[in-house]
Amino acid sequence: NAGVTQTPKFQVLKTGQSMTLQCAQDMNHNSMYWYRQDPGMGLRLIYYSASEGTTDKGEVPNGYNVSRLNKREFSLRLESAAPSQTSVYFCASSETFGDSNQPQHFGDGTRLSIL
Amino acid sequence: SQQGEEDPQALSIQEGENATMNCSYKTSINNLQWYRQNSGRGLVHLILIRSNEREKHSGRLRVTLDTSKKSSSLLITASRAADTASYFCATDAEDSSYKLIFGSGTRLLVRP
């Protein structure tokens, strides 16, 4: 039971470099999310995709782009990494959107350091 | 601003004791969820309580919700070392857009 799989698990970048964080879920969920987790801040929503073919901004979208490649995959791209983007990034999925009764299922995160 | 805030920020107890964590929120909600996060891992959904419910149980977990005080509590009974983790509450976004807003969490340490 893979659930939500994130790659890579760890990454170190230099300021200005770009990279894409990958996320895939095998639960046939319609909705997917990207969060960042910083010490003492809880999780903050970066972008979400309510369904295949749609994406929307969350609380902290600046500096990021996303692509919902298909129903299974949702990627997060940093075009020009900045030290303020050092964080742990979590991908999550839920069966549907628009129904907050749905629990979200999380991957184990990507730990990203930007020097 | 965060919708949910947990209290205390950190809690250390002996194995076998009960652990109580609290969550306060600011606006009306449809439901409140609790999640657990083990070190280095993602969040795992524990329990959901709807706004019209006052108490819910799941195994050793007991969640209460007081909508008049805009607060919830998570009680873990007969704690085990394996319960050591961070616990987060999550509520609906203030704009009712169905997005979840997570609190900053309570770090629980259960000493063997």
User: Within 13 A of B112's CA, how many CA atoms are on the CB side?
Assistant: 2
User: Any idea of the CA torsion for B38, B44, B49, B50, to the nearest 10 degrees?
Assistant: 140
Backbone φ, ψ for residue A84 (5° rounding): -70, -10
pLDDT band at B6 (very low <50, low <70, confident <90, very high): confident
The model's pLDDT over B73-89, given as tens digits with 9 standing for 90+, comes to: 999 999 999 999 999 99
Residue A6 pLDDT > 60, yes or no?
A: yes
Residue B110 pLDDT > 50, yes or no?
A: yes
Closest residue in chain A to residue B4, using alpha carbons only? A42
Asked if B100 and A4 come within 8 Å (Cβ–Cβ), the reply is no
Query: CA separation (Å) from A55 to A50, A95, B20, B69, B99?
Result: 7, 16, 38, 35, 13
Residue A99 pLDDT > 80, yes or no?
A: no
Residue A61 forms contact with B (CB below 8 Å): no
Asked if A104 and B43 come within 8 Å (Cβ–Cβ), the reply is yes
* Of B92 and A25, more confident: A25
By C-alpha distance, which of A112, A97, A92, A96 is closest to A5?
Answer: A92
pLDDT given for residue B26 in this prediction: 87
pLDDT given for residue B3 in this prediction: 64
Asked if B105 and A99 come within 8 Å (Cβ–Cβ), the reply is no
Please report residues of B whose CB lies closer than 8 A to that of A104: 43, 45, 100
By C-alpha distance, which of A10, A58, A11, A7 is closest to A32?
Answer: A58
- Proportion of chain B above pLDDT 90, given as a percent: 76
Query: CA separation (Å) from A1 to A6, A25, A27, B28, B72?
Result: 14, 10, 9, 36, 32
pLDDT given for residue B112 in this prediction: 92
What is the rounded CA–CA span in Å between residue B103 and residue A58? 16
pLDDT given for residue B2 in this prediction: 52
Residue B84 forms contact with A (CB below 8 Å): no
Structure tokens given for B90: 């999550």
pLDDT given for residue A97 in this prediction: 82
pLDDT given for residue B66 in this prediction: 96
pLDDT given for residue B1 in this prediction: 45
**pLDDT (average), residues A29-56:** 92
Least confident of A15-19, A50-54, A74-78: A50-54
- Proportion of chain B above pLDDT 70, given as a percent: 92
Return mean pLDDT, chain B. 91
